[in-house]
Amino acid sequence: MRQKIVAGNWKMNKTRDEALALTSEIVNMVRDEVRGDVQVVVCVPFVYLTSVGKLLETQSNISLGAQNCHQKASGAFTGEISAAMLQSVGTQYVILGHSERRQYFGESNELLKDKVNIVLENGMKPIFCCGETLEQREQGIHFDLVCSQLTESLFHLTPEQFANVVIAYEPIWAIGTGKTATSDQAQEMHAKLRAHIASKYGAAVADATSILYGGSANPGNARELFGQSDVDGGLIGGASLKSRDFLDIIKSF
Ligand SMILES: O=C[C@H](O)COP(=O)(O)O
């Protein structure tokens, strides 16, 4: 049975007080309302990792996540954050290859390979994002493109290493647009990705890999999305900034 995961990606939102208030609300609601088999993760801005982490550590089994890290271990990279730094403040998951980082910061599959390596070397789990633009979908190249993102950034890993990777399929045309992929479109891509993983690592590894959906997921569509056999949860942007919406999504399994 693979792990169900709902991860909130706060992106570049919230002041410190707002971040702590949101965390407390989520902690209380998860404790009161969520059954034990869903792993909840909050991926917060770097500057809040320590303070949010303290609240999570003492009061919940919610995991702490970051949204990026540098590909090198340390050195003269002004303004950057290393995997070891993230690990040292209790980070358990790191989002890598989000389309916003690919688009605005030029992150390539090759660069992401190094980021995946350093996150795993530091004992954390990458949430590896993949997804196509609307144009690529309309050209009919979306399956090949998304599979090649996995091939180029992940398929050098050993099966043991790959077992610590979480995949997030995020069609770029659905991110923050209010336009969700249909549950059929999500299931179709997730099934392709699982088959692609099986072709490299075998069925047992593929069956054990959590593949999350991201892109305008909300309390109104999460139940149908999570009801698909190859959708193991969600990477939630906008709706993770409101505790009630985030909780209702978590409870959609
Ligand atoms: O990481 C989250 C995704 O980019 C989805 O964002 P969204 O739920 O605001 O569309």
Domain boundaries, the chain: 4-250
Query: Which residue carries 């090949």 as its tokens?
Result: 144
Give residue 1's pLDDT: 78
pTM of the model: 0.98
Q: Which of 100, 107, 132, 170 is catalytic?
A: 170
Dist. CA 148–CA 192, nearest whole Å: 12
Pocket mutation for ligand 1, best pick of 6, 9, 99, 167 (most atoms within 8 Å of C-beta): 9
Q: What is the rounded CA–CA span in Å between residue 99 and residue 80?
A: 19
9 appears as a binding residue in the annotation: yes
Beta-carbon contacts of 227 under 8 Å, excluding residues fewer than 6 positions away, are 183
Q: Please tell me the predicted confidence (pLDDT) of residue 212.
A: 98
pLDDT of residue 59: 79
Tokens of 194: 């699982």
pLDDT score of 45: 98
pLDDT score of 107:
98
Percent of the chain as helix, strand, coil, to the nearest 5: 50, 15, 35
pLDDT in tens, the chain (253 residues): 799 999 999 999 999 999 999 999 999 999 999 977 999 999 999 999 999 999 999 878 999 999 999 999 999 999 999 999 999 999 999 999 999 999 999 999 999 999 999 999 999 999 999 999 999 999 999 999 999 999 999 999 999 999 999 999 999 999 888 888 899 999 999 999 999 999 999 999 999 999 999 999 999 999 999 999 999 999 999 999 999 999 999 999 9
| Phi, psi angles (nearest 5°) of residue 108 | -100, 165
What tokens does 127 get? 């949430």
Ligand 1 atom nearest residue 239's Cα: 8
Verify whether ligand 1 is closer than 6 Å to residue 175 (CB atom): yes
Architecture of domain 4-250: Alpha-Beta Barrel (3.20)
Exposure on the CB side of residue 172, measured as CA atoms within 13 A? 19
Q: Provide φ and ψ at 212, rounded to 5°.
A: -95, 155
